[in-house]
Structure 1
């Protein structure tokens, strides 16, 4: 797999801060083949900072070089996605609703009423959230935890996770397969999408904190007025 190593360390891709991740993914695939790609994706689910947008195109590129077949790449990466998601589902199930609510009560600016709203939303839209969440950076991993907390039926969870992950994985694995040594182009465009998602999350977080602070000040002012 020396061609894989040279591709991962190519100057055109090493400018990315994720070049080390590419080398790490290549070393795993070099050691154990397609199961290595699955292992890397399973770890990516458990540790979201590891980018599937790098690992999956590399798996496709490895398939294009004949190191393993495209079908093996898809099977193993999807299996890795499901196993990683299942582990996080287990974490959510272990955490449980009562324990989660007890933790939330200690978090500043978060009300139990907010948790109830999120819970109601997930009970209504949870199946869609699990399926489509597999195609959104960051949320791909995190969505498994509330599914576990809410005890989503395991078979449905695994089915939706498999379907959503297969779509996401196929896009990137096939891109790497057809782009060959230019696989890093996929990461560049995916990186833009991820930045948009992160920006949206930050904006939403700022709006939430601001609204909570304003609400707290209004309640405090009302209590002061009533006491006086």
Structure 2
């Protein structure tokens, strides 16, 4: 995948940066930790300006975040709660969990969006609950834009600074992203097994 990303960036330049960052927010396995450092490396080689690659990456990432926010709005809390009530067992969530997320976003939505936009693996996920919790569009857009620009500028600047050694950055950041995804999976598996154990104990107690 890394080679495909580099070929896309070499062929399409800053438009390729915007496209890949858009796709990264729709299909998270395409990592911004590879896209933006490579774009920063191209700046060090005189191919593009730092402002151009940061702007392109931020626009693509912002549009991807808006897409998932729109999906969350379209689904809505009530529809999602009904679906979870019937099918949420294997996800280890319940309608009460949806209510808690909704209340949490009422209090901390903006900060949650901002911080999660800076965390690999959670950057995409945060837009969906922001949508179904009916977080107001303007705060969502502002916090998303701030977090997005900060993340893309950081990665591009590091790639630019490292120059030919930019690959030294992608490895550690890739591990961070993988660790977050694995951690979420382990958390879900733990909840699933605990839920099944509780159900079994409840059935035996009858």
TM-score for both structures, normalised by structure 2: 0.90
Match of 1:125 among 89, 108, 114: 108
Contact 1:44 1:52 in 2 (8 A): yes
* Structure 1 residue 137 corresponds to structure 2 residue 117: no
* Structure 1 residue 191 corresponds to structure 2 residue 156: no
What is the alpha-carbon root mean square deviation over aligned residues? 1.7
- The change in CA–CA distance for 1:71 and 1:162 in structure 2 (over 3 A counts) is same
Unaligned runs of 5+ in 2: none
Unaligned runs of 5+ in 1: 1-20
Q: Deviations over 1:77-109 (max 9, x none)?
A: 111110110111111111111221122122324
Number of paired residues?
203
Match of 1:163 among 142, 146, 149: 146
Partner of residue 102, structure 1: 82
Contact 2:37 2:157 in 1 (8 A): yes
Partner of residue 5, structure 1: none
Partner of residue 18, structure 1: none
Partner of residue 135, structure 2: 152
* Structure 1 residue 181 corresponds to structure 2 residue 164: yes
Question: Which protein has the larger Cα radius of gyration, Structure 1 or Structure 2?
Answer: 1
Higher relative contact order (CA closer than 8 Å, sequence separation 6+): 2
Measure, in 2, the Cα distance between the counterparts of 1:184 and 1:30.
Answer: 16
* 1:189 Cα offset (Å): 0.9
Runs of 4+ in 1 over 3 A off after TM superposition: none
SS at match of 1:33: helix
Contact 2:20 2:35 in 1 (8 A): yes
Contact 1:134 1:141 in 2 (8 A): yes
Measure, in 2, the Cα distance between the counterparts of 1:120 and 1:42.
Answer: 29
Measure, in 1, the Cα distance between the counterparts of 2:20 and 2:114.
Answer: 21
Partner of residue 65, structure 1: 45
Contact 1:25 1:37 in 2 (8 A): no
Partner of residue 111, structure 1: 94
